[in-house]
């Protein structure tokens, strides 16, 4: 008799072998709280458990069954890429010798889905590192034992089987009908819906399509799944991969699924179309931008989690070890003027030692002697302290009594809020051959340890030159000779001294009075003196930053900006060093110099969207921001990218104009030209057409009259009145089409009509007829009593279609997407008497034919 399947929640030995232990504390913390004999016993038990699991591995297979319910629960909440986290789906522990049909009966009991309604798909890892359902199990495979089946789908691990359970449900969530056999032409696609307003994505189901079919044919079904109205415009994208970068591309609805290279397990993401509205209100207007943001966030979260784990590990070890970071003069010399300019050292880049807290500090000094070659008697250590002005300086030397303490005791004294780390400065005097000069003497309370930086205004460089002990009662005049020596100057070189006080939020660096005592100048241990040659005789005109304060101010505000051409928004073209305090004029002037433009006002800038990694929809207005920092800021995030474009007229002048892109259709020639029209914003449509007349070839100059149409998705949505102002017209999504008004339209009699004529194709999707417009729409005069035969003759002549091709065309009155076919004897004008249709574009004469040539 076959053994039954064992769900993972059952209390059996097989299930126990699959259990995982969870700890409320980290393992390291837990072990520290247990006696040694308990720890040894626990290790033995774990070894026995692992041996048991290994012995049972040849008997059982873990089967993980993913269902639509799992995809719906996880996508948009726990995961955003691919389809499911298999570690969070229902798992069954099955004997390898059990027939797969027995598993289906267990699944029927667990999920309430009869066996005949179940169909299973095997998952496969693709070359692009995605993991998707690959193919349905065959009837022959379903009678095999589970162990053999596992080897078919996953040769490298026959202890685990991952399946997707496909079942169709009716409205009350009961199985609808047994799945039929999928033909080779059928493709299983998974569907996700994205909402750019809520910034959410969710799973809405799966769908079988024919490879020869087109995405256009499933739009009705997608809108139904999303809860959209039937006439909602939607856009489709394929989620291709997400490692190492996100790849999500728009799907051409007119191509077949095979031409789009869609196959079993592929994912289609769809959303409402935003082409007819501004996207400025959305952070991520389209699916690819949202997925890219989520991927970057996932990488950031993963990094934060790794750091959290590392910190947890460090915290668990904090009671045993201390990290000692030793800064030396060599570190200060290497970093100041290269990696840092303010304060003294970056402690994350100095030599670190992981020391047991119980080690005496004297023992640590011996380790330092071996590492750096500095005898113990030549070493003196200083503790660092964070000051109220946010600077970080050596504060005092360790006392002899402190040096005989343990490292742990010393770290508690120096850093009460983080005793797992100890930062110290190692002081040692060196002679010319870099060997220790003499044992350090004891510092008195009157002595002050000062650090020295030298600034060269000609080279615009600052560097560390050493440190000096001075007496509080002494004066800066007394150390000038020593400073000249450290800088390599003559002894009588005139120099000026400054104290570097702080750099956040603003730089504070003040001139030092030579005649005041160090105490009178409020100098103390760890303070920094910056000095330079006096420029009183040379003057300051030849230097950009003549004195230390101006140089430090420059460094503090320095910002390297990467500039990209707006036409190539993905490519860095060049970088410029600017100041965060630069105003608008200074930024564009610097950019114009680099571009060798005489007029900076011909440069227009666009800020960078930090989240979408694309240019913002609207450019920066002329003098519309005060500082460079405002140009680089986006939702409290600072970027280093700006986009630029070179205009043919100054930006202030352009901002007073409205720019429209108008497509002109010649009435007598098969010719289309695109023109850019710039006029004052208060201008009218009449002004636009008058300007256009000077740029195009008219069939009947000077009597020709033009009109402007608004075209979108192959429909005419508006005929602009001549007196309408152009200020609010948006040509970003709509096509503005200009054309001559035919003579017969200029004097319409009361019984004639001007109707819309559109090309369309009809297709069937989900047992519903749908139409798809294409080609160029146009307007046509219909006279009273005119039959379809007469109208067809005029249309054929207008479009210049051959008799053979035209004989295949069908003609219909289309209202709100529903075609009503006409016969040759029908009076066309009678079909267009209704006036209660919303929008003239939704009631038109439709020309049904294949889309194989422009019309």
- pLDDT tens-digit readout, 74-85: 999 989 999 999
Query: What pLDDT score does 169 carry?
Result: 61
Shared-domain flag, residues 603 and 621 = yes
**pLDDT of 324:** 93
Q: Does residue 156 sit in the same domain as residue 262? A: no
Per the model's pLDDT, the better-predicted residue between 709 and 731 turns out to be 709
Strand partners, 154: none
End-to-end CA distance of the chain: 73
Buried b / exposed e along 741-770 (16+ C-beta atoms within 10 A): eeeeeeeeeeebbebbbbbbbeeebeeeeb
Per the structure, the complete domain to which residue 603 belongs is given by: 555-645
CATH classification at residue 812: 3.10.20.90
Tell me the two tokens of residue 118: 């179940």
- Give the sign of the dihedral formed by CA 61, CA 65, CA 70, CA 71: positive
Separation CA 540–CA 544 (nearest Å): 8
Q: At residue 93, does pLDDT exceed 90?
A: no
Q: Between residues 787 and 634, which one has the greater pLDDT?
A: 787
Q: Which residue has the tokens 């700890």?
A: 23
Question: Is residue 636 domain-shared with residue 729, that is, in the same domain?
Answer: no
Alpha helices in 678-717 (DSSP H): 685-693
pLDDT at 457 over 90: yes
Structural domains counted in the chain? 7
Question: What is the pLDDT, as a whole number, of residue 11?
Answer: 37
| Residue bearing the bigger pLDDT, 482 or 140 | 482
- Reported as a pLDDT band with limits 50, 70 and 90, residue 27 is very low
pLDDT one-digit tens code per residue, 639-653: 999 999 999 999 999
Please report, for residues 617, 624, 650, the alpha-carbon distance to residue 604 in angstroms, rounded to integers and kept in the order given. 13, 11, 9
Residue written as token pair 């800064």: 327
Q: Would you say residue 301 lies in a domain? A: no
What mean pLDDT do residues 788-792 have? 95
Residue at a domain's end among 369, 399, 427: 427
Please indicate, yes or no, whether residues 33 and 144 belong to a single structural domain of this protein: yes
Q: Is 855 contained in some domain?
A: no
Assigned domain for 784 exists? yes
CATH number at residue 688: 3.10.20
Residues 5 and 114 in one domain: yes
pLDDT at 177: 53
Per-residue pLDDT tens over the stretch 540-587? 668 899 999 999 999 999 999 999 999 999 899 999 999 999 999 999
- Would residue 194 count as lying in a domain? yes
For 200-221, what is the mean pLDDT? 92
pLDDT tens for each residue of 332-374: 999 999 999 999 999 999 999 999 999 999 999 999 999 999 9
User: Are 348 and 397 members of one domain?
Assistant: yes
- pLDDT tier at 9 (50, 70, 90 boundaries)? very low
Q: How confident is the model at residue 483, as a pLDDT?
A: 97
pLDDT of residue 490: 94
What is the per-residue pLDDT for 838? 47
698 confidence band (pLDDT: 50, 70, 90)? confident
Flag whether pLDDT at 321 surpasses 60. yes
Give the pLDDT score at 19: 33
Residue 238: partners with Cβ closer than 8 Å, 6 or more residues away: 248, 249, 251, 260, 262, 266, 267, 268, 269
Say if residue 141 is in the same domain as residue 23.
yes
Residue with tokens 């960078």: 608
> Residues 23, 122: contact at Cβ < 8 Å?
no
Q: What is the residue-averaged pLDDT of the chain?
A: 85
pLDDT at 255: 87
> Which pairing describes strands 818-821 and 843-848: parallel, antiparallel, or unpaired?
unpaired
């Amino acid at each position: 008799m076959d053994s039954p399947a064992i769900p993972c929640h059952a209390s059996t030995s097989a299930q126990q072998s699959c259990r995982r232990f969870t700890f409320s504390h980290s393992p390291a913390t837990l072990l520290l709280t247990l006696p040694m004999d308990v720890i040894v016993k626990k290790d033995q038990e774990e070894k026995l458990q692992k041996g048991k699991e290994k012995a049972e591995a040849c008997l059982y297979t873990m089967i993980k069954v993913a269902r639509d319910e799992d995809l719906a629960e996880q996508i948009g909440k726990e995961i955003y890429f691919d389809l499911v986290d298999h570690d969070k789906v229902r798992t069954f522990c099955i004997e390898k010798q059990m027939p797969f049909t027995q598993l289906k009966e267990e699944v029927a009991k667990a999920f309430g889905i009869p066996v005949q309604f179940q169909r299973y798909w095997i998952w496969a890892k693709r070359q692009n590192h995605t993991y998707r359902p690959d193919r349905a199990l065959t009837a022959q495979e379903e009678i095999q034992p589970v162990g053999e089946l596992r080897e078919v789908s996953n040769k490298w691990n026959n202890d685990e089987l991952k399946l997707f359970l496909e079942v169709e449900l009716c409205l009350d969530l009961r199985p609808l009908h047994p799945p039929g056999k999928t033909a080779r032409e059928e493709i299983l696609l998974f569907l996700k819906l994205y909402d750019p307003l809520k910034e959410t994505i969710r799973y809405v189901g799966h769908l079988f399509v024919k490879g020869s079919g087109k995405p256009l044919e499933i739009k009705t079904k997608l809108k139904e799944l999303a809860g959209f109205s039937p006439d909602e415009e939607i856009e489709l994208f394929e989620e291709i991969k997400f490692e190492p970068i996100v790849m999500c591309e728009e799907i051409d609805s007119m191509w077949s699924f095979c031409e789009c290279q869609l196959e079993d397990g592929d994912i289609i993401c769809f959303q409402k179309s935003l082409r007819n509205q501004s996207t400025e209100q959305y952070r991520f207007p389209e699916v690819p931008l949202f997925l890219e943001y989520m991927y970057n966030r996932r990488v950031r979260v993963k990094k934060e989690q790794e750091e959290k784990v590392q910190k947890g590990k460090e915290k668990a070890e904090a009671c045993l070890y201390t990290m000692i970071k030793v800064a030396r003069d060599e570190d200060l010399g290497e970093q100041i003027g290269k990696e840092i300019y303010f304060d003294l050292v970056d402690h994350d880049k100095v030599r670190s030692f992981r020391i047991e807290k119980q080690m005496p500090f004297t023992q640590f000094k011996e380790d330092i002697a071996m590492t750096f070659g500095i005898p113990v008697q030549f070493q003196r250590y200083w503790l660092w302290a964070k000051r109220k002005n946010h600077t970080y300086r050596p504060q005092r030397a360790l006392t002899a009594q402190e040096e005989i303490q343990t490292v742990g005791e010393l770290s508690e004294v120096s850093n009460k809020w983080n005793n797992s780390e100890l930062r110290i400065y190692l002081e040692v005097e060196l002679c010319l051959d870099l060997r220790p000069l003499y044992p350090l003497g004891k510092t008195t309370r009157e002595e002050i340890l000062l650090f020295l930086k030298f600034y060269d205004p000609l080279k615009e460089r600052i560097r560390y030159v050493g440190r000096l002990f001075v007496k509080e009662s002494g004066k800066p005049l007394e150390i000038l000779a020593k400073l000249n020596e450290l800088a390599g100057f003559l002894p009588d070189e005139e120099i000026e001294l400054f104290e570097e006080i702080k750099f956040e939020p603003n730089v504070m660096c003040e001139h030092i009075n030579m005649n005041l005592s160090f105490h009178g100048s409020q100098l103390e241990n760890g303070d920094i003196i910056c000095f330079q040659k006096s420029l009183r005789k040379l003057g300051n005109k030849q230097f950009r930053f003549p004195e230390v304060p101006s140089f430090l101010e420059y460094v503090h505000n320095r910002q390297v900006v990467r500039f990209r051409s707006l036409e190539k928004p993905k490519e860095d073209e060049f970088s410029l060093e600017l100041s965060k305090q630069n105003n608008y004029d200074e930024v564009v002037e610097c950019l114009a110099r680099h571009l060798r433009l005489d007029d900076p006002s011909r440069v227009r800038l666009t800020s960078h969207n930090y989240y979408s990694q694309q240019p913002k929809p609207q450019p920066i207005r002329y003098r519309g921001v005060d500082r460079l920092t405002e140009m680089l800021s986006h939702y409290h995030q600072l970027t280093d990218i700006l986009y630029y474009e070179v205009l043919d007229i100054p930006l202030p002048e352009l901002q007073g104009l409205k720019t429209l892109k108008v497509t002109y259709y010649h009435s007598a020639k098969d010719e289309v030209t695109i023109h850019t029209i710039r006029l004052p914003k208060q201008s009218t449509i009449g002004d636009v057409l008058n300007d256009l007349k000077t740029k195009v070839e008219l069939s009947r100059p000077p009597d020709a009259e033009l009109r402007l149409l608004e075209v979108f998705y192959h429909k005419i949505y508006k005929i602009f009145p001549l007196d309408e102002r152009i200020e609010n017209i948006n040509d970003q999504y709509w096509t503005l089409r200009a054309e001559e008004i035919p003579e017969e339209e200029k004097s319409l009699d009361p019984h004639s009509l001007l109707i819309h004529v559109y090309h369309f194709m009809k297709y069937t999707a989900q047992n519903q007829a749908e139409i798809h417009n294409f080609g160029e729409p146009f307007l046509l005069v219909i006279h009273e009593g005119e039959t379809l035969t007469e109208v067809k003759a005029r249309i054929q002549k207008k479009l210049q279609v051959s008799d053979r091709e035209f004989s295949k065309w069908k003609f219909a009155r289309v209202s709100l997407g529903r075609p009503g076919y006409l016969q040759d004897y029908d009076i066309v004008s009678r079909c267009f008497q209704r006036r209660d249709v919303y929008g003239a574009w939704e009631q038109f004469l439709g020309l049904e034919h294949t889309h194989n040539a422009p019309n």
